[in-house]
Every structure is written in structure tokens, then in C-alpha cells.
Amino acid sequence: MPRHDRDEIARRAGYATWREAVQATAGLPQQEAGRLLGVSHPTIRVWRAELGLDRAAARPSPAQSAEAFRQDGHDARHGTANGYRNLGCRCERCTAAWTAYQRDRRG
Ligand SMILES: [Zn+2]
């Protein structure tokens, strides 16, 4: 889509430029942003990618999630075999849960 058409779409939705429109709707789900601007959600995805906004809104990688979990002592997954094995936590509660799990498995 030519850039001036994008700007036309943005102006109809009340924004000065498509860039401004994409930035202003960056916090919304793609479907919702698309509805607001009058374009399809794949278009929103493309526009966000062009502005580098897709990465900022992306979910954290599994490694980052596991790291955040290990830092958060109040996370309910501590004290589970999952916490130990899948999330790599070696706190006392997770280690104990893992030991118990192994013991039960050998049962
Ligand atoms: Zn733990």
C-alpha cells in the first residue's frame, strides 16, 4: 500500500499520519487497532513491524519468563516439579517438590 494511502486512512481515523496512528494504537490487540483505523489486522501487524513496535509488544521469550519466575518468590509455581524441571528453579521448595516427585515416580 502506498504511503499516502496509509496517511489518508490515518487521517480518516483522526490521526495526522499513519505512523502516529500505529503508535497511538500500539497497546491494543491487532484486531481492535484494525477496527479503529479501518484496516485488517494483518495490515496492523505489517505496520507495527515497519515501526519496530511488534517486538516491544511481543510476549517475553520462554527463557525470560523462566528468569522472571525464578526471581519472583511469590510465584505459585514455586514448590512444584514443573518449577524445578521446566523452569529451572533450584530454590528449596522447588528442589523439595522435585525430590518428592522423583520418589513418587519410583514409588
Ligand atoms: Zn522455586
Summarised one tens digit per residue, pLDDT across range 26-56 is 888 999 999 999 999 999 999 999 988 876 5
Do 52 and 66 belong together in one domain? no
Do 15 and 47 belong together in one domain? yes
State in Å: Cα 69 to ligand 1 middle.
Answer: 8
* Contact predicate 90/84, CB 8 Å: yes
State in Å: Cα 94 to ligand 1 middle.
Answer: 4
Do 77 and 95 belong together in one domain? yes
State in Å: Cα 81 to ligand 1 middle.
Answer: 9
Do 23 and 41 belong together in one domain? yes
Task: Count structural domains, the chain.
Answer: 2
Say what the pLDDT of residue 56 is. Answer: 54
Neighbours of 16 (CB within 10 A): 10
Say what the pLDDT of residue 62 is. Answer: 79
**pLDDT by residue for the chain (107 residues), tens digit each?**
566 699 999 999 999 999 999 999 988 899 999 999 999 999 999 999 998 887 655 667 778 888 899 999 999 999 999 999 999 999 999 999 999 999 988 76
State in Å: Cα 98 to ligand 1 middle.
Answer: 10
